[in-house]
Amino acid sequence: MNRGDIVNLFDVKNKVVIVTGAGRGIGRSIAKGFAKEGAKVVVCSRTKAELTVLKNEIKADGGICEVVTCDVGIRSDIERVIKTTVDTFGKLDVLINNAGMTKKVPAIDLTMEDFKQVIDVNLTGVFSFAQLAGRVMIKQGFGKIINISSIASVQGLKGSVAYAASKGGVKLITETLAIEWAEHGVQVNAIAPAYVETPLMEALKTSRVGFEEAVIQRTPMGRMAKPDEMIGACIFLASEASSYITGETIFLDGGWKAYGL
């Protein structure tokens, strides 16, 4: 295999990619990364203004982008995103299941309403999007789903019981769907970041004294991740380079998990 063949393995040009939670943070970076590599990107979140700014940036760089507002907790919104994507582009190659939220509250004080809200977005929303995208992909005979999980999928996270429970569920959804859909040509994988410098993380830094220093000290690479550092693993999992990988979670954590206790 020559160099050109290897480069082609990672090609995502003209692939149709849905990115949920694309208005900011990790989702925004992933959407721009795919568009830059020639993918046709459908971005969705609850806030149209953020998506419009993103679309304009992508188009200014010569990319292709469609905007669909969506609350992942509403099944009909998800159905509309899938339908709009297929009606516009004729297929669906990749789903980046990124939309998520958290409630940073001690377990003893967490209300059931807040617990349910986190589960509805992070777990039920992920499954609902995967299920509806999966139906299209199974009918096509191909497709890739990439769920955005977390280091909290395999380790407890103080003050985030609902978030940890939801991400643990995402890990098992990923593995179970991978098993069920492999025979249909649909691959389901996940990436699991640790701490990433997003707007949410900035809020945590300012609200909790010593938080950033503690994270950096605990991380072998000595820093938090940048949102753009999530792009490469997603491109890999969306491309032919990962043609024999399904049911896996790639940890993008700067060595956090390897560090142990």
* Residues designated catalytic: 163
Q: What angle do CA 110, 121, 166 make, to 5 degrees?
A: 65
Give the H/E segment covering residue 85: helix 75-89
The residue among 162, 141, 163 whose CA lies nearest residue 151 is 163
Give the H/E segment covering residue 97: strand 94-97
Show the tokens assigned to 149: 């999980």
User: Is residue 62 helix, strand or coil?
Assistant: coil
Contact 41, 63 (CB under 8 A): yes
Distance of alpha carbon 116 from alpha carbon 112, whole angstroms = 6
| Residues across the chain | 261
Distance of alpha carbon 148 from alpha carbon 95, whole angstroms = 10
Cβ burial, residue 157 (10 Å; 0-12/13-18/19+): middle
Show the tokens assigned to 99: 């939309």
Distance of alpha carbon 32 from alpha carbon 24, whole angstroms = 11
Residues 6+ apart with CB under 8 A from 220: 254, 255, 256, 258, 259
